[in-house]
Structure 1
Amino acid sequence: MDPVDHLLHLDRTLDELDPPRWPPPPADATRLVRTVHELRRVPLGAMGAADLRMLVTQRVALPYVLPLAVRLLIEEPLLDAYFYEGDLLLATVNAPPSAWTPLPELAARLRAVITRLPETEVAALPRGAAEELARFSAETGPLG
């Protein structure tokens, strides 16, 4: 079994894993708010890369969402989740440093993925991406 898999609860929803359950969104909620509320009721195993990117950027249930994102990024680091190549990676490295504290092995695996990225591919990412990747690697400590 992959060491990341023990962190996953693919048959359960965020409402089950990350209490309290969220009430329905207000009637005048934005599309983003409605979508995030809906995603909390989707089994984790049914979430796609775009769903994970949205939840990570909105900082929703990160202890459950980050392992899923890293699992995808290990396979395809520059995955185009919705907006552009590498958007899930950049969303993930921009999660608050405190979100990684209980997930040191996961952070180390993501750092390893980042160090293997060819410079030409990093250079093709949006402006500032190389600095964001370097910052993540420095904040989470040395490779171990």
Structure 2
Amino acid sequence: MALLLHLDRTLDELDPPRWPDPPSTTTHLVRKVHALRRVPLRELRPADLRTLVSQQVALPYVVPLAVRLLLEEPLLDAYFYEGDLLLATVNVPATVWALLPELAEQLCAVVAGLPESAYTHLPSGAVKEIGRFVAEHRTIDGTGAKGGSK
């Protein structure tokens, strides 16, 4: 994964232009996102990734890091609840997944393999969102043909 070559760099370096300091009157979330853009990728924690993915910041750089964690622990509790990083990640726009088709297929395979009981503690509507992601990114018989409709 070419991204691994950039783990010592920040989003401000990789995803120009650099963001200026936020206004002092801005929200805590905006200040946090601005600050996270200045953190080397290797130092981003699961909660940081969830924030960046949820706010749709530098997704081509952030999503691979999130997926790497999710492949090992799909229902990782990044900050709010079990599965919060997964839910943020499956809601990434299709245009980003089009840049990362292999990651989408890997995440789809892991999520599709979870038992139904794994979803019992997720928020209302989460199963539907995850199901939509699986339907959009599932490959059939390894042929590359996509399942579901876009």
Tell me the TM-score normalised to structure 2 length.
0.89
Q: Which residue of 2 aligns with 1:124?
A: 121
**Which has more radius of gyration?**
2
| Pairing 1:71-90 to 2, within 5 Å after superposition | 71-90=68-87
Q: For 1:141 and 1:110, how far apart are their aligned partners in 2?
A: 10
- Contact 1:11 1:45 survives alignment (8 Å): yes
Amino acid at match of 1:38: A
- Which one scores higher on RCO, CA 8 angstroms, separation ≥ 6? 1
Which segment is superposed worse, 5-14 or 49-58?
5-14
> How far apart are residue 110 of structure 1 and its match?
0.5
Task: Choose the corresponding residue for 2:91, options 66, 90, 94.
Answer: 94
- Contact 2:82 2:121 survives alignment (8 Å): no
Q: Which residue of 1 aligns with 2:32?
A: 35
Amino acid at match of 2:88: A
Q: Which residue of 1 aligns with 2:45?
A: 48
* Equivalent pairs, count: 140
Which segment is superposed worse, 66-75 or 128-137?
128-137
Q: For 2:137 and 2:71, how far apart are their aligned partners in 1?
A: 17
Amino acid at match of 2:80: F
Q: RMSD over aligned Cα, in angstroms?
A: 1.1
Tell me the TM-score normalised to structure 1 length.
0.93
Q: For 2:11 and 2:31, how far apart are their aligned partners in 1?
A: 15
Q: Which residue of 2 aligns with 1:134?
A: 131
> How far apart are residue 107 of structure 1 and its match?
0.3
Gaps of 5+ in 2: 143-150
Amino acid at match of 1:50: A
